[in-house]
A = this chain, B = another copy of it.
């Protein structure tokens, strides 16, 4: 069986909590990944849809995915971006295996599908797995709170500043990066229209807070960006 080179991968794993796989014994690892499937997703392709049940737990191997909620009008609000060696959503296991959010690939990606029943057995097999699972949920909840606060209380400037800081601090780990997401995605991340997003990026550029050229973004004044993210 292919080994996901887990010790190494976990270094890259930006998930707040430990990676699920970094302290598994070989038999545990074998068990969890028995029946695994690997699937490729083209940029833009849907990985799963909210309101559907899933027989799998999706683990990203390469590329990037966005997790979002959809309104009746077809608009989307991005909750987080998922990078390799992170899970996408864990369905409502021990209930109906429902997914409450949707996901699609923002660039060509490869994912590993873990059988949900195997995952359940894995979770129940040892109480050493429980803290990891709980940390996953903690993380999801803390992110939700941040996202809600962001979109409810902040004006457009603050929302864009916040989104850029998210990219800097939690996605690309650098003040200068090439976004692999479109302006529309950035708009959906900030919870506003594409046009407003453009306007505010232009304004930040004029204020020398950012340097933006196409998908290249460079943060020139992080302090000020943080200030804006906080007070609008």
- Is A153 in contact with chain B by the CB < 8 A criterion? yes
Q: How far is the CA of A94 from the CA of B132 in the complex (A)?
A: 8
A125 / chain B contacts, CB cutoff of 8 Å: 127
**Chain B residues near A101 (CB, 8 Å)?**
145
A residues 38-52 touching B (CB-CB < 8 Å): 50
Determine if A209 is an interface residue (Cβ-Cβ < 8 Å): no
Q: Which of A108-116, A135-143, A179-187, A214-222 contacts B (4 or more CB under 8 A)?
A: A135-143
Q: Which residue of B lies closest to A79 (CB)?
A: B148
- A71 in the interface, Cβ–Cβ < 8 Å? yes
Chain B residues within 8 Å of A131, by CB: 93-94
| Binary CB contact string for chain A from 121 to 133 against chain B (1 if under 8 A, 0 otherwise) | 0011101001111
Query: What is the interface of chain A mostly: helix, strand, loop, or mixed?
Result: helix
Question: Does A69 lie at the interface of the complex (its beta carbon under 8 Å from any beta carbon of B)?
Answer: yes
Specify which of A123, A132, A144 lies most central, judged by the most chain B CB atoms within 10 Å of its CB.
A144
Given contacts A94-B131, A94-B132, A94-B134, 11 further A-B contacts (CB under 8 A): A69-B148, A71-B149, A71-B152, A71-B153, A75-B152, A92-B142, A100-B142, A100-B145, A124-B127, A137-B141, A144-B144
13 CB contacts below 8 A, A to B, read: A69-B149, A69-B152, A75-B152, A77-B148, A93-B138, A94-B135, A95-B138, A100-B145, A127-B127, A137-B137, A137-B141, A144-B144, A148-B151
